[in-house]
Structure 1
Amino acid sequence: MDWPRDKKIEVYAQAIRGLLTLEPSIEKRLKYMDFVDIYSALDDNERRLYAECYPQENRNMAGLTERLLTQGRQQGIQQGLLRGREEGRQDGERELLARQLSRRFGPLDTLTAERLQRATTAELERWADNILDARTLEDVFGAN
């Protein structure tokens, strides 16, 4: 983008003002804000001058950024909680199946214990169902 050097901060401010006025989507505003930042390439001094000369636009964009960061953190926390619950559930299934196998067939050998540790949730559930009808340890891990 080509503009007079002494107008750089003003052009940046107009771009931000237009973005805030014309784009209703918060996500798109942030995306376009990145574009404006990349192509304007304000240095630290220019950013300070922008904040002084255009305080409302600066506050609006800072508020937008903070709101999006907060939303992102909240989504990350929720995803982490869901993942933790799933991992906890899988660990519980694994431990219960290991206990049931040990009780039914005696102490588990190293290979069987390792197999349980590598198992997916679907495998653990299938094996837990198989244990009800299995006569041997191999029957539990069979392809039912």
Structure 2
Amino acid sequence: MGEIRNCPRCGEFFNYNGVRDICGKCAMAEEEQYEIVYRFLRRRENRAATVERIVEATGVEEDLLHKWVRKGRLQPALFPNLGYPCDQCGHLTTTGKLCSSCQDELKGELRKFEAGQEFREAVKKAEKGTYLSDKR
């Protein structure tokens, strides 16, 4: 059984079942906007349109375009200038939550951290070493 929620777009109550995060009326309006965008992008001259150009030509909100790219409804393989903002820096990305440069930066920081941790462990082991005394 679903739970009752308020639609974040219109404020109406709806039965949330885990599939849609908005009410049925807003979902239908969103689907109509998707059709407008998709018809616009299907034209050969518009396939390389940027997010800003699509917003300007169709009147659809930028957040909706990002949502559709995230969900895979608009595929960057077919429309190369589409993407959604990186959670860290805001540059457009097409996979995951971080762009490739932020991923590389994060991986580098993790490598540094792991190397530092290995060094600290090696120092601890060296300090715990057995000391022999020459007392007889």
Normalization by structure 2: what TM-score? 0.38
**Larger Cα Rg: Structure 1 or Structure 2?**
1
Larger helix proportion of the pair = 1
Higher relative contact order (Cα pairs below 8 Å, separated by 6+ residues): 1
Normalization by structure 1: what TM-score? 0.37
Larger strand proportion of the pair = 2
